[in-house]
Amino acid sequence: MTKIINAAIVGTGFIGPAHLEALRRLPNIEVKALCEVDIELAKEKAATLGIPKAYTFEEMLGDPSIDVVHICTPNFLHFSQSKEALLAGKHVVCEKPLATKIEEAKELVSLAKEKGLVNAVHFNLRYYPMVRQMKNMREKGELGDIYSIMGSYLQDWLFLQTDYNWRLEPDKSGDSRAIADIGSHLLDLTEYVTGLQVTEVMADFSTVHKTRLKPLKAIETYSGKMLQESDYEEVPINTEDHATVMLRFDNGNKGSVTVSQVNAGRKNRLNIEIAGSKSNFEWCSEKPNELWIGKREKANQHLMKDPSLFHKEAAGLISFPGGHNEGFPDTSKQMFKEVYAAVREGKQPDKPSFPTFEDGYRELLICERIIESHRKQAWVKI
Ligand code: SOE
């Protein structure tokens, strides 16, 4: 009989339940426990979500039946909780960013290597089938040499001065916000699809709301939009709502990314255009099953997600036939399929197909250089 792999999820905000749902759609995995610092909250959420055990983090580490820990807490806890989970011999799937400081991320990379345990960072956007298809098409030469890259990631859930979340507080989230929160996904996806590395950055940030009105009670990510009249206190904001970063790549060509969390009507929209010598790809996360392929000598093309039209490596990420749309929740399911295959083997593969702690470290490094560039108002090498 196939062994059941037991998982625990730490954190019950926006993304913890998304991990749970994805895991429940895969065979032979049981999410056995939910953890929160506040055990009463853990019990309440475990009951609502139908999870057998509610633990504090320490209690969970002491349970030998837990094989994998998903860290879905605010950013400042990622380092210490990933470290303790690895030291307790558990495989770890950590939310991005892997840590809030580069040295911490480095330490986690070494520790995970030393332990040989499976380690992954939830860069789930890589798992849209069309993203894998773009990567495969580029690898097969269908894009040609890359001339330029233009990306954006826009949201509106922090648009109003009254929108508030722990991500606005550097002691919980880190020194960067829009770049660390959504720019990290965009930059990871850019390097993943193109196979290029960013070598230098020139960044300019702006904080549109210099102060925000903080609700007196805590609210979960995205749910602030639902707040009624309430009591607020005015607090200063020190992280960026918007950023533009010019990029230099290791093939000598250039690009740019713009991220913003204050763009009305843009709910959660990553858009990337990669111009090559043979084609031009444009993909948008809000229409994830479509790819625009620009051509010079013939008519442009429009590819729709369909396993029969995809390269086989990308078709493996599709669970439904063409015309049956897959989306955000499917990305985590597809990622965990690959991660849990490694867990079943009991160790990190030599060449993991999924994003690892090393990828988490890389994103933190780029992010830190971007902050440095903004502060110096100068180009900074990665
Ligand atoms: C909030 O901005 C957020 O939930 C990010 O933290 C996620 O990584 C991304 O999925 C969408 O937005």
Options 3.30.70.1400, 3.40.50.300, 3.40.30.10, 3.30.360.10; CATH of 129-326: 3.30.360.10
pTM: 0.94
Instruction: Provide the residue-wise pLDDT of the chain in tens; the chain has 382 residues.
Output: 889 999 999 999 999 999 999 999 999 999 999 999 899 999 999 999 999 999 999 999 999 999 999 999 999 999 999 999 999 999 999 999 999 999 999 999 999 999 999 999 999 999 999 999 999 999 999 999 999 999 999 999 999 999 999 999 999 999 999 999 999 999 999 999 999 999 999 999 999 999 999 988 766 666 655 565 567 899 999 999 999 999 999 999 999 999 999 999 999 999 999 999 999 999 999 999 999 999 999 999 999 999 999 999 999 999 999 999 999 999 999 999 999 999 999 999 999 999 999 999 999 999 999 999 999 999 999 9
Domain residue spans in the chain?
5-125, 129-326
pLDDT at residue 1, rounded to an integer: 82
Tokens of 168: 């606005």
pLDDT at residue 227, rounded to an integer: 61
Distance CA 24, CA 303 (A): 30
pLDDT at residue 221, rounded to an integer: 63
Atom of ligand 1 nearest to the CA of 122: 8
pLDDT at residue 219, rounded to an integer: 64
Mutating to test ligand 1, I would choose from 181, 241, 260, 328 the residue with most ligand atoms within 8 A of its C-beta, which is 181
Residue nearest to atom 5 of ligand 1 (CA): 181
pLDDT at residue 34, rounded to an integer: 97
pLDDT at residue 232, rounded to an integer: 83
Provide residues with CB under 6 Å of ligand 1.
Answer: 14, 155, 181-182, 185, 221, 268
SS3 68: strand
Distance 185 CA to ligand 1 centre (A): 9
Atom of ligand 1 nearest to the CA of 328: 10
pLDDT at residue 230, rounded to an integer: 61
Tokens of 99: 């840590």
pLDDT at residue 37, rounded to an integer: 87
Write down how long the chain is.
382
Options 3.40.50.720, 3.90.76.10, 3.40.225.10, 3.30.70.260; CATH of 5-125: 3.40.50.720
Alpha helices by DSSP H, the chain:
15-24, 39-49, 57-61, 78-87, 102-115, 129-139, 170-173, 178, 184-194, 312-315, 328-345, 357-376
